[in-house]
Structure 1
Amino acid sequence: MSNEMLWIILMIVNFTFILLSYKLFGKLGLLVWSGFAIILANIQVLKTVELFGIVSTLGNIIYGTSFLATDILSEKYGKKEASKAVWIGFFALISSTLIMWLCLKFIPHESDFINESLVDIFSIMPRITIGSLIAYLAGQLHDVWAYHYWKEKFSKDSQLWIRNNLSTMVSQLIDSLLFTFIAFYGLFEIDVFTQILITTYFMKWLVAAFDTPIVYLAKKIDKPIFK
């Protein structure tokens, strides 16, 4: 199966789970998802693949769902709840990075077989985390602000797609520029770095474009199964 097909399947799976999270647990499900998504995205982003003929990193889909979560919260519960999701994600990333950094300081037993893999994954995370934290806050706080700004301009239900895309796509551009330069500049050759920068935004842009129907579906969900 090609990377492109797997990418599409992965996007469908992510959208399915975020809708399921909201259907099962309501607002709480989206708040939990915000913390979960940012942690997993920072692990996935360490893997580079070829998508549509150019170099890309993984993590763009699940990271994009964090913007989807705040857009749903903004639409249904207001700016305060959407901002809470942003800060939950911020806290989750800082705490998980610190905890894993301390875990790596333990001297492994001679029977250990996983420590080197953990070091490979999490030793680079402080740089990834710094880039992600700065980009995440700048992008997400802009997204929450922009969503409500555009909601005042395009307040009808039929115009939901306009406020969703205008807020998310600009926010994703801010996020992609900040994160890519802080996290990856100097780690890759310039041509690979440029491809990662372009594909990082392009993939997030695609996720933002395809998540619009998910916002409409979420808007129709009234009561979670587990209150």
Structure 2
Amino acid sequence: MNEILWFVMLVVNFALITIAYRWWGKTGLYVWVAIAAIIANVQVIKTVSLFWMAATLGNIVYATSFLATDILSENHGKKEARKAVYIGFFSLISVTVIMQIALAFEPHPSDFSQEHLSVVFGLLPRIALASLAAYWCSQLHDVWAYDFWKKRFPEKRHIWIRNNASTMISQLIDTAVFTVIAFAGVFSAGVWWQIFWSTYILKWVVAVLDTPFIYLARKMKDDGKIRDLVP
């Protein structure tokens, strides 16, 4: 059942990011990167069994942030892709700070949510630190690498090369940095390695499957079908 839900989530994420770009252009992708940064760092708290491996949720939505920055790099340039990365940083920092202040409030005797919010957001500072470090290293590498490969394979038919060559190394960096900071000492070594490899493999699968969507985004841009809120 988890595997079916994983593919459903994959399709939903790809559909939403395509709609966001179609309707709002660059702005839609900036919004999506912010959404992905926040949701992924909430979902990652939940550990599930996927394809006979221990895995954390959040892999799909986080991996689509690489798709968003690759679309920006492809259609709008490296500067716009970097801007999306900075927006993701700011979004995650903002949520972390605001939720820590919210948790510090003394709850009313009738309150029923404090305990549940503490479970979800009480762990967020460590998760946020891990995510920010991983985000900084991997996303900026991805933007640099996409531009690097685009200069060497500039033809439209070679989008798949620059998309996958940049993303797969970037996601390896992201997975290594994130899992060490977030989960070292939290899980046993065996579970930690399962989470590391399952996280990277699942992100790798998402990177392969998102390739048609970057071609679609390029075609929509070339056909003038993108409604950008910001010229």
* Kept in 2: contact 1:26–1:223 (CA 8 A): no
Does 2:205 align with 1:206? yes
Q: Compute the displacement of 1:110 (Å).
A: 1.1
Deviation string for 1:12-53 (max 9, x for gaps)? 000000000011111100011111110100000000000000
Deviation string for 1:143-196 (max 9, x for gaps)? 000000000111111100000000000000000000000000100111111100
Partners of 1:200 and 1:33 in 2: how far apart? 21
Q: Compute the displacement of 1:136 (Å).
A: 0.4
Does 2:145 align with 1:143? no
Question: What TM-score, normalized by structure 1, do the two folds share?
Answer: 0.98
* Kept in 1: contact 2:27–2:228 (CA 8 A): no
Does 2:58 align with 1:59? yes
Does 2:110 align with 1:111? yes
Unpaired runs of at least 5, structure 1: none
SS, match of residue 112 in structure 2: coil
SS, match of residue 92 in structure 2: helix
Counterpart for residue 25 of structure 1: 24
Alignment of 1:31-70 (within 5 A): 31-70=30-69
Deviation string for 1:64-84 (max 9, x for gaps)? 010000000000000000000
Counterpart for residue 127 of structure 1: 126
SS, match of residue 55 in structure 2: strand
Give the % identical residues: 56
SS, match of residue 94 in structure 1: helix
> Number of paired residues?
226
Counterpart for residue 224 of structure 1: 226
SS, match of residue 50 in structure 1: strand
* Kept in 2: contact 1:55–1:199 (CA 8 A): yes
Counterpart for residue 175 of structure 1: 174
* Kept in 2: contact 1:176–1:200 (CA 8 A): yes
Instruction: Return closer, same or farther for 1:142/1:226 CA change in 2, 3 Å cut-off.
Output: closer
SS, match of residue 198 in structure 2: helix
Partners of 2:59 and 2:136 in 1: how far apart? 16
Partners of 2:28 and 2:204 in 1: how far apart? 24
* Kept in 2: contact 1:37–1:62 (CA 8 A): yes
Counterpart for residue 155 of structure 2: 156
Partners of 2:228 and 2:196 in 1: how far apart? 40
Q: Compute the displacement of 1:223 (Å).
A: 3.4
Partners of 1:202 and 1:116 in 2: how far apart? 34
Partners of 2:10 and 2:71 in 1: how far apart? 17
SS, match of residue 49 in structure 2: strand
Give, as a single letter, the amino acid of the residue that structure 1 aligns with 2:104.
K
Unpaired runs of at least 5, structure 2: none
Counterpart for residue 95 of structure 1: 94
Deviation string for 1:71-112 (max 9, x for gaps)? 000000000000000000001001110000000000111111
